[in-house]
Amino acid sequence: MPDFLSSVMLKYLKLGYQLLVNHYVALVLVPILVILFSKVVKFSPREIVAIWNSLRFDLVQIYWSLCLVIFISTLYNISKPQKIYLVDFACYKAPAELCFSIRTYVERMKFLSGSENQSLDFQLRISERIGLGERTCMPPAIHLNPPNLTMKALREEAEMVIFSAMDSLFQNSGLNPRDIDVLVVNCSICFSTPSLSAMVINKYKMNASIKSFNILGMGCSGSLISIDLVRQLLHAHPSYNAVVVSAELMTTIFYRGKERSMLVPNSLFRMGGAALFLSTKNSFRNIRAKYRLLHLVRTHTADDDKSYNCVYVKEDPEGILGIWLSKDLMAVAGEALKLNLTALGPLVLPVSERFLYLLNFIARRKFSLRWKPYIPDFKQAFKHFCIHAGGPAVIDGVQDSLQLSMEQMEASRSAFHRFGNTSSSSLWYEMSYIEAKGRMIKGDRVLQIAFGSGYKCFSAVWECTETVRIPASGPWIDCIDNYPTCIPRVVK
């Protein structure tokens, strides 16, 4: 017997099924309209005029019918949610003198570890296999020997990252700082008083009526959580302009101890940030706005103790503060991703994929058939994928779960190799990568997936409103031609 599974005919059979199911409404209505049109054509002009004259219209009925139509259309326009537009965004690019190569990192940890050869060997093995490039950056305080982890250094890093990203945003979008009505600043860990949002308001002398928020402790999903907050505020105040700032400040979380589970974040995280300009104003529609927000889905598993404790900020036995990562982190992330995709699927998947999932679910639950759970093909719903660049394990896990190709994961791997894990801002380095490659075409849909401590999984769906030109500036301007690049498994 021929191998039908590997046959080319199976490919065309699947394409035919998708075409039939996804366009079933048109396939049903078109024959009906053709039949009705053929019936109408058979009438002579005199018969059509006679039918028209037989209809009697009362002026009062016409008036109230028009009023009813206007009332219903107005009520519909008022009740439907406002469309959220991402007008523009900008990412922070650190100067070349802040590059923190693997050699520099090992030398720094050798100084801190002293005679602890086991701890140093562990960090060396992690650094060789983590997949970071030689141009990731750390703040000036960590370049010192020993690192100067003070509040003053933290504020200097915050000003460097946040102000630089916002200056680029103002330059690219033409937004005036005094025209901002909502400001949301998020950072994984930054215990600063006054808050980071107050620091931004003071720098740019924003209006006293601005609504400002400072979000901490949400981990790498903080950017999408901030956008969710902005979405609700813009629905209540459609005339507002909103800015979201996402930053990763390394001065706070750089660990100087010897606990292995707390040393891993030192190898993963690097400094970075992004600033986003969002609005609901119709003046941005199809004129200046790059993207339109379609869906935001948030799921969390904080009710489970294992999920709650898998990412934890605490002191080690010597009293040194750091981020502790559990061995169950990848399993917890996989469960959170599964819950999120289950909620996202019905909103974005085509009818053909939902129908196959339903058949598989009924066969397994109702008829107890030993079928494997059907994994929907999310590639049919999205053109681009921006997966949080948390590390090779996170990227590989999401790729296997969604069955994505290497090309579809290119933005995530390239962003991690070039900039490292920049926490919640990593999604925007990936979006910037796609733009720098000239791949963002009008109508393309983008899926962003972010994870956060607690444990949370957040997904956002964007639609490109206009073909994005290759930017003349940005974080990738001097290295985009070097990507994609071969990332070896081990770098000695």
Catalytic residues: 220, 300, 384, 388, 417, 421
Residue of 247, 91, 262 lying closest to 155 (CA atoms): 247
Q: CB of 175 within 8 A of CB of 277?
A: yes
Residue of 465, 402, 462, 474 lying closest to 437 (CA atoms): 474
Burial 190-215 (b: 16+ CB within 10 A, else e): bebeebbbebbbeebebeeebebbbb
Q: CB of 166 within 8 A of CB of 243?
A: yes
Burial level of 266, CB count in 10 A (0-12/13-18/19+)?
buried
Rounded Cα–Cα distance for residues 139 and 147 (Å): 10
Max distance between CA atoms of the chain, in angstroms, equals: 104
Tell whether the torsion through CA atoms of 161, 95, 91 and 472 is positive or negative: positive
